[in-house]
A and B are shown apart, each in its own frame.
Chain A
Amino acid sequence: MGGYGLYVWSAYGFATLILVLNVIVPLRRRTVVMRVLRRLSQAKESE
C-alpha cells in the first residue's frame, strides 16, 4: 500500500468492525425479544 498500509487497513478494519457489530447486535437483540415474548405467552397460558 505504498507506505500507507497502516492507515488504509485501519480504516477498512474499523469500518468492517462497526458494520459487523451492527449485524450481530440487532440479531442478538431479536433473540432476547423472542425469548421474553415466549415466556410472556407461557405465563399467560398457565394463568
Chain B
Amino acid sequence: MLSYAAPKNFYPFAGKLIPWIGFAAVVTLAFGLYLGLFVAPADYQQGQSYRIMFIHVPSAWMSMFVYVVMAAAGAASLVWKTKLAEVLASACAPIGASFTLITLVTGSLWGKPMWGTWWAWDARLTSELILLFLYIGVMALQASIDDPRRAARAAAVLALVGVVNIPVIHFSVEWWNTLHQPASVSKLGMPSIHPSMLAPLLLMAVGFKLYFVAMVLVRMRYQILERERHTQWVAQVVESEK
C-alpha cells in the first residue's frame, strides 16, 4: 500500500491538492465577504460595526482549531516519531499565531466602538492573548534548536501543556463575568443569530479552514525538502523542478 505518511509520497500528493484547495478557499471567502458586507442587514443594536464579526469570530475559531491540530500532531510525533507529524506541527504554528493576532486586533477594533475600550484584562481576552504567547513560544523553540527532531519534541511538549488554555478560552465567557459577549452560534439548540448573518459567518469559517489547509501544505512541502535534502528522491525533485 502506498503510504501517504511517507514524506516521499506526501510531497507530490500535497502538491496536487494545494491549487484545488487554494481555489476553493478563494471562492468561499469571496462569497462569504459578499454576503457579509453587502447582503447581510445591519445589526439592530450594533449597527454596521458588527460586520467585524465575519472575520473576528471565524479567526477566533481558527486560532483554537489550529492549536488543537498542532498539539495533536505534536502528540503523534512524540508517540510514533513520524517526521510528517513533526513537520505538520511546525507548519501550524505561524498560521495559528496569525489567526490569533487577527482575532486580537479585530476584537480590539470592535471593542473600541462597542465597549468604549481597545482592551480589557477580562478572561476571554487574556486567555486569547496567552494563546498568542503559546504559539510564539512554540515557534521560538522550533527556531532555537538546530536538530529538527529535538526541536519538534520540545515544541510538542510545550504545545501539549498549553492545551489546557483551549477550554479556558472557550468557556471563559461562562465561567467568569466578562465584557465579552457569550457564544451565539455554538449554543446547544438553536443558534441565536439570523440565517442572513449565519450564512456569511459559516462561509468565512469554511474559507479560513480551506486557506489553512492549503497554506499548511505549502509550508510542510518545503520543510520536508529541507529535512530530507540528503535523500535520493529530493535530488530527483530538485532535478525535475528546474
Contacts and interface: CB of A to CB of B under 8 A. Distances in A.
Interface string B214-242: 01001101100110010000110011011
Interface residues of B, number: 35
Given A8-B48, A37-B225, A19 B98 contact: yes
SS of A interface (majority): helix
Nearest to B237: A37
Nearest to B22: A23
Interface in B46-66: 47-49, 51-52, 55-56, 59
B211 interface: yes
SS of B interface (majority): helix
B238 A41 contact: yes
B102 interface: yes
A37 B228 CA distance: 10
Nearest 10 CB-CB pairs, A to B? A4-B49, A2-B48, A11-B106, A30-B222, A1-B48, A11-B109, A2-B47, A11-B52, A33-B222, A15-B55
29 contacts: A1-B49, A2-B47, A2-B49, A3-B47, A3-B48, A4-B48, A5-B48, A7-B110, A7-B112, A7-B113, A8-B49, A8-B52, A10-B109, A11-B52, A11-B105, A11-B110, A14-B109, A15-B59, A15-B106, A18-B101, A21-B98, A22-B98, A22-B215, A23-B215, A33-B222, A33-B225, A33-B226, A34-B238, A37-B234
Interface of B: 42, 47-49, 51-52, 55-56, 59, 94-95, 98, 101-102, 105-106, 109-110, 112-113, 211, 215, 218-219, 221-222, 225-226, 229, 234-235, 238-239, 241-242
